[in-house]
Amino acid sequence: MKAAFFYKYGLENLQVREYPDPQITDSNDVIIKTKMIGVNPIDYFTVTGKHGLNTDQLLESKPIPHIPGVEIAGVVEKIGNKVNNVSVGDRVVVYNRYYDSSCVFCRSGQEMLCINGGLIGVVSNGGFAQYLKTRAENIFVIPKDISWNMAASLSVNALTSYHCLNKSNLKPNEFFLIFGATGGTGQFAIQLGKIRNANVMAISKKKWISDFQPDLIISNYSDIPLQVKEYTHNKMADVVLNSLGKDTWNDAISCLGTNGRLMTFGVLTGNKVELNLQTLYFKQLQIIGSTGGGIEEFKNIIDLSKELKVKVWKEFSLEQSVEALYGLFDKKRDGRIFIKID
Ligand SMILES: [Zn+2]
């Protein structure tokens, strides 16, 4: 098969060439013919071997040579003889974390925290290839009428936002503020916030954000807390989602009202921040980390996907994998990046 893989870390070392086809070796194996791959910062970090921008923390990818790609949708090509949850020809999406179903976290519906887990595309080969082999427990059939772009946005972008909002306990009519609202996860946060009947305030300069119908669009970044104060009549936000990291941290904290919850799952602009502890306790703030989502949540977001949409910026070919990864940091980026595989 054709695949994008590397022997040595670094974007310049990612090559697209022939790679051995995966084979069914276990009765529980499933081989997928990949159709669409969502491109995420984690893929960039997998290839560079760094655990984020501005960090020395290393990310170890296995096996070497390694195929990246964590957000995968395709069609079932072959199955092992004990697989009974999917059939050849099914349109499917991959839940991208291995889990053992038995540890304390799996038993409480938090498979993404599995003690014996790991990310498909990081601890095993991922989706930047014509075929992917994984286990039946990680494969889920998708609704007939959703696009491949939507399918390839479910396991990282949509699920991360969905779990984050569950964890935030966002309630109807609460004020919900989203930094990076036109990013991969931000688009879903707007839509899921609306589905929860929250009052959604979305920060972005992109005109198309209005297609997602937030209640307030903040496109002027000069004094965001003041704009939130005016809109909420001094209450400020109940839930703030800041998945951008350091650069928007101070504004995110300033926009929180009493009993506010700051949600975070990303550090694209840096991971070291300052915090005034007095602000934290005087306003009874909570800072809540969130990561991925569990299997039940994944099933729920697959069901919900018929009501959701995703803004596509570009589809690259497998041969253009390096360009697709650089595209993540392109100032002209206007929506999600995908790799479309023939
Ligand atoms: Zn587990």
Residue 51 scores a pLDDT above 90: no
Average pLDDT of the residues of the chain: 96
pLDDT digits (tens, 9 = 90+) for 56-82: 677 788 899 999 999 999 999 999 999
Gap from CA of 95 to ligand 1 centroid (Å): 14
CA dihedral (182, 184, 189, 190) positive or negative: positive
Gap from CA of 288 to ligand 1 centroid (Å): 22
Gap from CA of 45 to ligand 1 centroid (Å): 25
What pLDDT, on the 0 to 100 scale, is given for residue 138?
98
Q: What is the DSSP letter of 20?
A: P
pLDDT digits (tens, 9 = 90+) for 282-320: 999 999 999 999 999 999 999 999 999 999 999 999 999
Determine the average pLDDT of the residues in 181-203: 97
Gap from CA of 159 to ligand 1 centroid (Å): 18
Gap from CA of 152 to ligand 1 centroid (Å): 24
Helix residue ranges per DSSP H, the chain: 41-48, 148-151, 159-168, 184-195, 224-231, 249-254, 277-282, 295-304, 321-327
**% of the chain at pLDDT higher than 70:** 99
pLDDT band at 268 (very low <50, low <70, confident <90, very high): confident
pLDDT band at 158 (very low <50, low <70, confident <90, very high): very high
Arch. (CATH architecture) of 157-289 = 3-Layer(aba) Sandwich (3.40)
Residue 52 scores a pLDDT above 70: no
> Would you list the domain boundaries of the chain?
2-153+310-340, 157-289
Q: Please answer whether residues 240 and 214 qualify as being in contact, where contact means their C-beta atoms are separated by less than 8 angstroms.
A: no
Gap from CA of 111 to ligand 1 centroid (Å): 6
What pLDDT, on the 0 to 100 scale, is given for residue 53?
65
Determine the average pLDDT of the residues in 1-27: 97
- CA gap 271, 255 in Å, rounded: 19
Gap from CA of 100 to ligand 1 centroid (Å): 4
Arch. (CATH architecture) of 2-153+310-340 = Alpha-Beta Complex (3.90)
Gap from CA of 282 to ligand 1 centroid (Å): 38
pLDDT band at 54 (very low <50, low <70, confident <90, very high): low
**What predicted TM-score, i.e. pTM, was given to this entire model?**
0.95
Gap from CA of 82 to ligand 1 centroid (Å): 22
